[in-house]
Structure 1
Amino acid sequence: MENNKYFDKLYDVLGGVSLKLTSNIYIGAIKDGMLAYMPFTFIASIFLIIAFLPIQAYQDFMASIFGAGWVGALTMVNSASLGIGGVLVLLTVSRRLAEKMEIDALQIQLTALVSYILLIPFGADDAGNFISVTFLGAQSIFLSLIISIVTCLVYRKIDQKGIKIKMPDSVPPAVSKPFESIIPSFVCIVLFWLIRLTIDNFSLGSALEVFNAVLGAPLQAIGGSLPGAIFVKLFSQVLWFFGIHGDTITNAVMTPILQVLQMENQAASLAGAVPTNIICQSFWDSFASIGVIGSIIGICLVAKSARYKEMKKIAMVPYIFNVGEPTLFGLPLMMNVIYLIPFLLANVVSILISYAAMAMGLVPVCTGLAQVPWTTPLLISGYFATGSIAGSILQLVCLVAAVAIWLPFVKIADKQICQEEAQMAAAATITDTHADKSIRQEEAEETAVAPAK
């Protein structure tokens, strides 16, 4: 009884935290904006996988057919997508936040874009001015998020005060809205212009360097560290245990950090250097989430109960593609005290094993070249994430460790279910026996009465 009260109280606390986080318009806008950006990371990865498949015979074959510049032709797609990742995130997040604030999303996007360009240092050569792609890529995601939020806040404040050029009601919205946005957009642009002048006047470098030093570096230090990754994963699993979609909440915060770390690895790989960020988006998707699958494999190995035998038929195939909802809801794992320890521990062990293997040089650090979807099956994703078969072997080791953690608890739960099924079967047998006896008595009574009639 005390345990139930404790869990109910903890659920109320976590539920309240979850509600506040999921209803927060800024977190929601960042989550939605990053989700809209993610397909381009996968598209770029396809071309980079084709270009940098680590098989020398393949490389020689492609060069013999398409010439020495064939790799450059494929990396063009990466430059046109992830190469402007900061701009893409700026457009997606500013739009979603504007929609949540119920202000003009189109004008917000344009205002945010102009403000963004204002903060980017221009270079010059004989051909004139130019903008370095360094300031457009995913490494400027933090700057994009700040500009998106500040632009929306300033624009909404002015709009709410009614400080705008008002057109007659007879003027169509397509004409009146741009005029109404002139003053709010002007104020936003002047604000960022003054920031740019301040940075230049005090020789602070670029806005990207300033914002990354103030905001980006601390976030990367926390989110990209081993303790940070373990804490976030544990928090996500605790939320899942209580029936709250933990990944939806934690990914809104972690994805920008992991994407920046991923792009730093990619830049190093493209330059021929060795990537240094062990924790990045590929690490998170391909190695840090190997945990719950151990439960369904454990059931396949040792389960004897009818319920679990049926469950493995349903849950195993989705889990080939890392879809765990059938297991989470079917066993169930949520609010199941028997499974609390492996539910929290298995993912942490996967993180520790993977991090140690990469830190010791046993497995290459994720190259950043291939960011495969999280639904990519194990072994395949490990190979592409690291560019080495060692990545697949590491996933297999993590999988074995996860299964070993889950097995004792699966046996305990399965034994209890077998006992329950046996009791139910015995109760059903007794019920059937009584029913048969009653039927026979009724038949005997009817037979005895029949001659008298």
Structure 2
Amino acid sequence: MTFAEKFTEKGQYYASKIQQNKYMQAISNGLMSLLPIMIIGAFSTLLSSMQIEVYQSMIAPFRDIIALPAQFTTNALAIYAAFSIAYKLAGLYGKEGLIPGFVSLFSFLVLTPISVFEDGELVINALTFDWLGARGLFAAMIVGVLTARLYVFFVDKNLVITMPEGVPPTIAKTFSGLVPAVLVAVLLTITAGLWKMTEFGSFHQFVYTILQIPLQSLGGSIWSICIALLIMQLLWVFGIHGAIVVLAVIRPIMTALDLENLAAYQAGEPMPNLVTGSFWSIYANFSAMLGLVVVLLFLSKSKQFKIIGKLGAPGALFGIHEPLIFGLPIVMNPILAIPYILSPVVCVVIGYILTVTNILPIPIGMQVPFGAPIVLSGILQGSWKLGVAQLLMIPLCALIYYPFVRILDKKNAEQELAQETQEKAAEQSMDRVIS
């Protein structure tokens, strides 16, 4: 067995382990299912906060109304995440997810600190948005996984109320989940009380201080995104779906970073995070493969390459690369593997340098729907400059790909020419026999 075969076998084994991990699946799928909510909030923020003086004057009377959806989506996303992640995890264990989702939502809220305000003699207890958005997202993930797993455990131990036959299914399911739900709620309420007695004051503060800040600092660096890209591209080269494997790990971190940027943009403050999921999407998703398409369509002589370029171009405009990856193929192709791994990393590094030097703005953290085309995906991140940067990186990536494609193109063109010569000779021979 060759090294490549061994690597592929091992890579597929570990990739499948990550993909099959129920906790990773629940977090990743739970966050993905929140995309409609995130898009609503992102568009609300974009429309209410675009820094165009004429536009801001025009919407001034009803700007607060335009910004209202963002307050209850982007700034409260952790609430939705707590429910969604628990719902998904319970489903992966074959259980009805609605009750675990509600229990997770309750548990998240009961763990959330309540602020006390005094207005003269009036004392107001308020649940602020401080921990309901980006700062509370990691806590929501942990609560979602923990409460759903406890719920499943209690159900599997048959700590349920079984209703007699003839009872409507909805009522029967509600009562069957009653005891597990109460047990989880009691445990998490006690946990909330215990956290109040610690130096952190709350579970949210503990998670944010000990886990979320270090992970965001690590995940929000140029080195981490380059390493993640290298791993993802390398997995693709060996026929493993690198996006599923890598994004399952980094999506929670990138989502939290994007949310912080979006909240800062809405508040008119400097955006705190340069490297985010939006940054990855702008510079790594489009230009690299479109550079390959340019080489295939305009700089290659092989008919096969030109056909593959035509087939792959529409998908590449929308960030869909499988026709090119498997059509050329790039998979198990050591020649094309080099530019395939190198080009998105080069784009990301150049985007980072241009952003650090203030030539390009920081992406605002807009949750752009998958399939939004190049240029539009950049513009939606807050500036036309980002869309233009995507376009300008295409010829750069074409230059990276060209010498490697040329090696294969020359070989393919020679084979095609030889085949055409053989076919013509065969046709002429057949004509002579017939005549």
Gap regions ≥5 residues in structure 2 = none
State the partner residue of 2:391. 396
State the partner residue of 2:408. 413
How has the CA–CA distance of structure 1 residues 248 and 190 changed in structure 2, closer, same or farther, with 3 Å as cutoff?
Answer: same
1:429 aligns with 2:410: no
- Given the alignment, which residue of 3, 7, 10 partners 1:6? 3
Alignment of 1:257-272 (within 5 A): 257-272=253-268
- Given the alignment, which residue of 22, 30, 48 partners 2:19? 22
- Asked if the contact 2:87–2:148 (Cα under 8 Å) also holds between the matched residues in 1, the reply is no
State the partner residue of 1:298. 295
- 1:129 is paired with a residue of what secondary structure? strand
Please list the CA deviations of residues 181-219 of structure 1 after superposition, one character each: whole Å capped at 9, or x if unmatched: 232222212222222112211241332211122221232
1:310 aligns with 2:307: yes
Q: Distance in 1 between matches of 2:198 and 2:50?
A: 46
State the partner residue of 2:434. 439
1:342 aligns with 2:339: yes
Q: Counterpart of 1:403 in structure 2: which amino acid? A: A
Q: Distance in 2 between matches of 1:193 and 1:101?
A: 24
Q: Distance in 2 between matches of 1:424 and 1:19?
A: 41
- 1:254 is paired with a residue of what secondary structure? helix
How has the CA–CA distance of structure 1 residues 379 and 175 changed in structure 2, closer, same or farther, with 3 Å as cutoff?
Answer: closer
State the partner residue of 1:213. 209
Task: Give the C-alpha shift of residue 270 in structure 1.
Answer: 2.2
State the partner residue of 1:381. 377
Q: Distance in 2 between matches of 1:174 and 1:379?
A: 48
- 1:124 is paired with a residue of what secondary structure? strand
Q: Counterpart of 2:239 in structure 1: which amino acid? A: G
Q: Distance in 2 between matches of 1:346 and 1:14?
A: 22
- Given the alignment, which residue of 113, 117, 134 partners 1:138? 134
- Asked if the contact 1:265–1:277 (Cα under 8 Å) also holds between the matched residues in 2, the reply is yes
Task: Give the C-alpha shift of residue 158 in structure 1.
Answer: 1.8
State the partner residue of 2:92. 100
Q: Counterpart of 1:108 in structure 2: which amino acid? A: P
Q: Distance in 1 between matches of 2:319 and 2:157?
A: 49
State the partner residue of 1:446. none
- 1:227 is paired with a residue of what secondary structure? helix
- Asked if the contact 2:339–2:401 (Cα under 8 Å) also holds between the matched residues in 1, the reply is yes
Task: Give the C-alpha shift of residue 374 in structure 1.
Answer: 4.0
Task: Give the C-alpha shift of residue 339 in structure 1.
Answer: 0.3
Task: Give the C-alpha shift of residue 437 in structure 1.
Answer: 4.0
- 2:125 is paired with a residue of what secondary structure? strand
Alignment of 1:135-284 (within 5 A): 135-284=131-280
Q: Distance in 2 between matches of 1:419 and 1:199?
A: 72
- Asked if the contact 1:294–1:403 (Cα under 8 Å) also holds between the matched residues in 2, the reply is yes
Bigger drift between 214-223 and 69-78 goes to: 214-223
How has the CA–CA distance of structure 1 residues 117 and 233 changed in structure 2, closer, same or farther, with 3 Å as cutoff?
Answer: same
* Aligned residues with identical type, % of pairs: 28
Q: Distance in 2 between matches of 1:121 and 1:23?
A: 35
State the partner residue of 1:122. 114
Please list the CA deviations of residues 331-373 of structure 1 after superposition, one character each: whole Å capped at 9, or x if unmatched: 22222222010110011111111111112222121223x3323
State the partner residue of 1:78. 70
- 1:135 is paired with a residue of what secondary structure? coil
Bigger drift between 112-121 and 390-399 goes to: 390-399
Task: Give the C-alpha shift of residue 242 in structure 1.
Answer: 2.3
- Asked if the contact 2:308–2:327 (Cα under 8 Å) also holds between the matched residues in 1, the reply is yes
How has the CA–CA distance of structure 1 residues 27 and 388 changed in structure 2, closer, same or farther, with 3 Å as cutoff?
Answer: same
Please list the CA deviations of residues 156-198 of structure 1 after superposition, one character each: whole Å capped at 9, or x if unmatched: 2222222233333443432233233232222212222222112
The aligned length equals 430
TM-score (norm 1): 0.89
- 2:329 is paired with a residue of what secondary structure? coil
- 1:134 is paired with a residue of what secondary structure? coil
State the partner residue of 1:37. 34
Task: Give the C-alpha shift of residue 95 in structure 1.
Answer: 0.8
How has the CA–CA distance of structure 1 residues 235 and 380 changed in structure 2, closer, same or farther, with 3 Å as cutoff?
Answer: same
- 2:284 is paired with a residue of what secondary structure? coil
State the partner residue of 1:57. 54
How large is the RMSD of aligned CA atoms in angstroms? 2.0
- 1:355 is paired with a residue of what secondary structure? helix
- Given the alignment, which residue of 348, 353, 356 partners 2:353? 356
Q: Counterpart of 1:199 in structure 2: which amino acid? A: W
Task: Give the C-alpha shift of residue 250 in structure 1.
Answer: 1.8
- Asked if the contact 1:353–1:398 (Cα under 8 Å) also holds between the matched residues in 2, the reply is no
Please list the CA deviations of residues 81-135 of structure 1 after superposition, one character each: whole Å capped at 9, or x if unmatched: 2222111111211111101111231110111111111101112344743211122
- Given the alignment, which residue of 368, 372, 385 partners 2:368? 372
Task: Give the C-alpha shift of residue 146 in structure 1.
Answer: 0.6
Q: Counterpart of 2:77 in structure 1: which amino acid? A: G
- Asked if the contact 2:339–2:400 (Cα under 8 Å) also holds between the matched residues in 1, the reply is yes
Q: Distance in 2 between matches of 1:415 and 1:207?
A: 62
Task: Give the C-alpha shift of residue 394 in structure 1.
Answer: 2.8
- 1:205 is paired with a residue of what secondary structure? coil
Q: Counterpart of 1:356 in structure 2: which amino acid? A: I
